[in-house]
Amino acid sequence: MAEDIRKSGKCTTEGDPEAFFVPGAAQGPNKIFCFDCPVIAECLAEALDNRIESGIWGGMTERERKALLKRRPGVPSWRALFEATG
Ligand code: SF4
């Protein structure tokens, strides 16, 4: 579940959870917080596979995820893709 993965992430143990749900362009600087999170790949896969539209997930902003999904519409499982590519 989406919330479960975040419970294992840095945003739950450190920082301000609200910072991940600021609007639009304000998300850009805040995504840096994710870059050393131990579950960054799982978090991003969760958001992409479940088409979660709001907030920063796995170091990507809403806009970045939307653009990625538009560029790669045929990926059946982002989780499987990330696991296969390590
Ligand atoms: S990658 Fe970012 S949003 Fe996801 S759990 Fe880690 S700190 Fe939270």
Share of the chain above pLDDT 90, in %: 81
Ligand 1: which residue has its CA nearest to atom 8?
A: 11
User: Which ligand 1 atom is the nearest neighbour of the CA of 31?
Assistant: 2
> What residue ranges do the domains of the chain occupy?
2-85
Share of the chain above pLDDT 70, in %: 97
User: What is the pLDDT, as a whole number, of residue 2?
Assistant: 62
User: What is the pLDDT, as a whole number, of residue 3?
Assistant: 65
Amino acid at 65: R
User: Which ligand 1 atom is the nearest neighbour of the CA of 6?
Assistant: 5
Is the distance from CB of 34 to CB of 43 less than 8 angstroms?
yes
Rounded Cα distance between 42 and 85, Å, is 13
User: Model's pTM, two decimal places?
Assistant: 0.93
Q: Each residue of 7-59: pLDDT tens digit?
A: 899 998 898 889 999 999 999 999 999 999 999 999 999 999 999 999 999 99
Ligand 1 centroid–CA 29 distance in Å is: 14
**DSSP assignment string, 10-64:** HHHHSS-GGGGG--GGGHHHHGGGGGG-TTHHHHHHHHHHTT--SS-BTTB-HHH
Ligand 1 centroid–CA 35 distance in Å is: 8
